[in-house]
Amino acid sequence: MAKGWLRAIAEHPDLSAGVEIVGLVDLHPPTAEALAAEFGLANAVIGSDLGAVIDETGAELVFDVVVPVARAEVVETALARGCHVLSEKPMAASLDEARSMIAWSKKAGRLHAVVQNRRYIPGIRRLRAFVESGAIGALTGIHCDFFIGAHFGGFRDAMEHVLLLDMAIHTFDAARFVSAKVPLAVYAHETNPPGSWYRTGASAFAIFEMADDVTFTYRGSWCAEGANTSWESQWRITGTQGTVLWDGADSFIARRVASEEGFLREQEEIEVPEAPRAEETEGHASVIAAFLQGVETGVPPETVGEDNIRSLAMVFAAIESAKSRARVVLAEV
């Protein structure tokens, strides 16, 4: 993931002009050295101790790309030294850790935000604007399917609740963003299907109760071979007057009722306009740009920790429900 971040900075002139990489930290320094060589960072300080590298370089920002179990220590160390921090998802390994991060950020007077990069793709921005327009009436439901046979190797193969914790948060966060509804409760079921190459939790199904009687459903698997969906899931959004379908890539189909009579009402196809602001739809680059703007202006980006903890709460409530096989009310955040 560090390569993805560095590539986003290097390939976007505004970012490369505004960010100087002064250090790379890894528990295995040769890994950081190889990354420095690949991206031409000859002057970057290489080390295995984050605090020491911050002190030596005078860094003002920390891009946190560690595995989830290491995140809390990295965020606390960086904030305590006066750095703003942009973290990979998930925000934390527990809600208590996430709450602590918010408290550390407030105490330090520094920004902590999370890379929910899939909020910044054209389809998600396009769906949000379309739902907000009222073109299909009042929102009633969001339904997402995610089925991919992903062979990562590495730490994910051994993670508990791997789909819910490492991937489903993207769709959960996007559904919360598109709907602009507060998640209230969830019932979830988690499995590890026969033939799975993950240790546990490669497949999950969840029904979320959202505010205003909106229902969000999720069906997913990371060990489903043969007919991969998009990484962004396949979406069906229903309203009181119509439906919009998105394949997670480039196909949008929207229809609404065009008559007031008949067993099956006549329908008309309607246009789904392009994303309203193209500069906001470049994934990691857009998240980093929004983070930098937040640092400069003091106006928090939309993926700031205080907001992102709500998506994390959806994940942990789903995990708790899957373990207890019972409906779970989301924790107060």
pLDDT at position 31: 95
203/333 Cα distance (integer angstroms): 27
What is the arithmetic mean of pLDDT over 96-121? 94
143-179 pLDDT, tens digit each: 999 999 999 998 899 989 999 988 999 999 999 999 9
Percent of the chain with pLDDT over 90: 83
Sketch out the chain's domains with CATH numbers.
2-117+284-304 (3.40.50.720), 118-272+311-329 (3.30.360.10)
323/26 Cα distance (integer angstroms): 34
244/127 Cα distance (integer angstroms): 9
Number of DSSP helices (H) and strands (E) in the chain, helices first: 11, 14
pTM of the model: 0.89
266-322 pLDDT, tens digit each: 999 999 999 877 666 677 888 899 999 999 999 999 999 999 999 999 999 999 999
Of 112 and 13, the structure prediction assigns the larger pLDDT to 112
